[in-house]
Amino acid sequence: MPSSSARQRLRERLTSGPLVIAPGIYDAYGARLTEMAGFEAVYMTGNGVSASLLGRADVGLVDLTMFAEHAHRAAAAVDIPLICDADTGYGNAVNVRRTVEEFEAGGVAAIHLEDQVMPKKCGHIPGVRPVVPLREHAKKIEAAVAARRDPDFLIIARTDAAGAHGLDDAIARVKAYRQAGADVIFVETKNSPTLLDDMRRVTRSVDAPALVNVEEGGALGQLTTTQLQELGFRIAIYPGLARYAAGFGIRQALDTLKRDGNTRAARERMLSFKEYNEALKLDDIVDWERRYLPPPE
């Protein structure tokens, strides 16, 4: 499980070094693969968790207990910091207190809390997302900051107000959330001809580290991480990476099996048994058994 030092590393990286790149995963297996690939942080997507646990769209069906337990298992599998989607905090300021306690106790390094009206929906699903009053969410951010025990546990304040109320309102909101104690700000925006200019406005208008949500199919997905850093961002999350890649790969293998009666034609796009076990640290288990299990009599 990431120790407090992992949280400290993430906090330190908010103001120094290159952009923090956090690929999106939805389980412990994906977290292990991300760490093995050399990334310094990993992001657990609510959309992916909803798909993984329920096989359903991200429309507020996953509750705190389901997500926090799932996140705890992923955090325990790696030594890099895990950033989590915590939706709206699963209720009001009282619920937010428990949300912070659960994620922090589970070894998570950071959570983001959004100002959508419950039940929330994924920001990339078509349609405008209604938001709660600014003061209500600002007080929830205050509550989140007050609830944490480890000062290095990061509170990321997200707003979905741009779609319904415009970018000026969204910027005003994250300024207020920053004043309420948020460590990082996160403005969710829609694809538009002015998207990149909008992103620059966000990072230049708010005196706070900014997170960008990179949807692979959108305009931001065409940018390199260097370009995102030049826009002024400090953290980039890629929520769709694992869920899209895994879904595509699984579907291809299934189609191959159905068509050919075996998976031979798909095997070059599949892990070998050896690679799979390397990802799961099987050698550690074998070594542990060798050291501590008595030999058979």
Selected catalytic residue, list 188, 234, 238, 243? 188
Residue 213's identity, in one-letter code, is N
Length of the chain: 297
Active site residue 63: no
Determine contact, residues 70/27, Cβ cutoff 8 Å. yes
Selected catalytic residue, list 27, 87, 102, 115? 87
Residue 14, classed as helix, strand or coil, is coil
Selected catalytic residue, list 129, 137, 158, 243? 158
Active site residue 85: yes
Selected catalytic residue, list 177, 183, 213, 238? 213
Active site residue 87: yes
With CA atoms as reference, report the closest residue to 231 among 196, 185, 192.
Answer: 196
With CA atoms as reference, report the closest residue to 28 among 5, 1, 8, 47.
Answer: 1
Selected catalytic residue, list 104, 122, 178, 234? 122
Please give the C-alpha separations between residue 197 and each of 28, 84, 205, 232, in angstroms, as whole numbers: 36, 27, 12, 12
Active site residue 277: no
Active site residue 188: yes
Selected catalytic residue, list 13, 72, 112, 148? 112
Active site residue 213: yes
List, in order, residues 6 or more apart from 170 with CB less than 8 Å away.
Answer: 159, 161, 162, 187, 189, 202
Selected catalytic residue, list 85, 104, 142, 160? 85
Active site residue 115: no
**Catalytic machinery residues:** 43, 58, 85, 87, 112, 114, 122, 158, 188, 213
